[in-house]
Amino acid sequence: MRLRGKRAVITGGSDGIGLAIAEAFLREGAEILIVGRDAGKLEAAREKLTASGPIGSVEPIGSVETVSADLAARPGVAAVVEHVKAAARPLDVLVNNAGVAYLVPFETVSEAQFQHSFALNVSAAFFLTQGLLRYFGAGASVINISSYFANKMIPKRPSSLYSLSKGALNSLTKSLAFELGPRGVRVNAIAPGTVDTAMRRKTVENLPVEAKAELKAYVERSYPLGRIGRPADIAGMAIYLASDEAAWTSGAIFAIDGGYTAG
């Protein structure tokens, strides 16, 4: 168990990629705190994580706590920081996974969408990392969940706002790796390709029928492995980055995308 005894905070941990990372961390022996806005979804996630025989049919090893907080607002960030502070134990891993994707045409992006996108995709990671910095233990790891959309686009899928926010997160990752490295804190990002999450399914459901068909065909011909990702596909890299095996890994953006950005 590569994460035994480590304490981890995972934002957006009640479903999708965040929940898959939480499940994987738990199996590796971590003590996890999952953060989400919806208290009901958090409780359902906690019950799933603590039940016997989760994904992989492996009984959970670590422990699970939850905090309901809207990280797009500063009080939500403060609530997470206070929870970690009250534990009076060093924090080993922070996974900044909470995010939102407004895949809407550039000309229709509203100011509210712009502000919310940056509040959750960028500011939350910035200020939560800043707020928790004093509680990081030796060799702590920050893992930012970015996106291939920071560097590569899909025809007929408008992504100006989402790409902008994830590009900013990549820049934050690299700059913090330099700034926090002397303190022994490692900062990396995972840039998934398209992953089958509830957020993705909701986005696709809103597309016209023709656009859905085009998207399916595009995935089949553009991904060398012939499919989009599953949340569990991202968890393995997160385990590595959280573990002592990655002690000399910092400032990297890891493309976990079925080979999509290789060409």
The pair of three-digit structure tokens given for residue 78, joined into one six-digit string: 């403060």
Q: Which residues of 229-242 are buried (b: 16+ CB within 10 A; e: fewer)?
A: bebbbbbebbbbbb
How many whole angstroms separate alpha carbon 74 and alpha carbon 124? 8
Beta-strand runs (E) in 101-257: 136-145, 186-192, 253-256
Q: Which helix (H) or strand (E) holds 217?
A: helix 209-222
Indicate if 135 belongs to the active site.
no
Q: What is the DSSP letter of 13?
A: T
- 100 close to 121: Cβ distance less than 8 angstroms: yes
Residue in 121, 136, 110 with CA at minimum distance from that of residue 173? 121
How many whole angstroms separate alpha carbon 247 and alpha carbon 8? 16
**Amino acid type, 118:** F
- Phi/psi for 64 (5° steps) reads -130, 130
Task: Classify 161 as helix, strand or coil.
Answer: helix
Task: Classify 225 as helix, strand or coil.
Answer: coil
- Of the candidates 162, 223, 240, 260, the residue annotated as catalytic is 162
- The residues assigned a catalytic role are 162
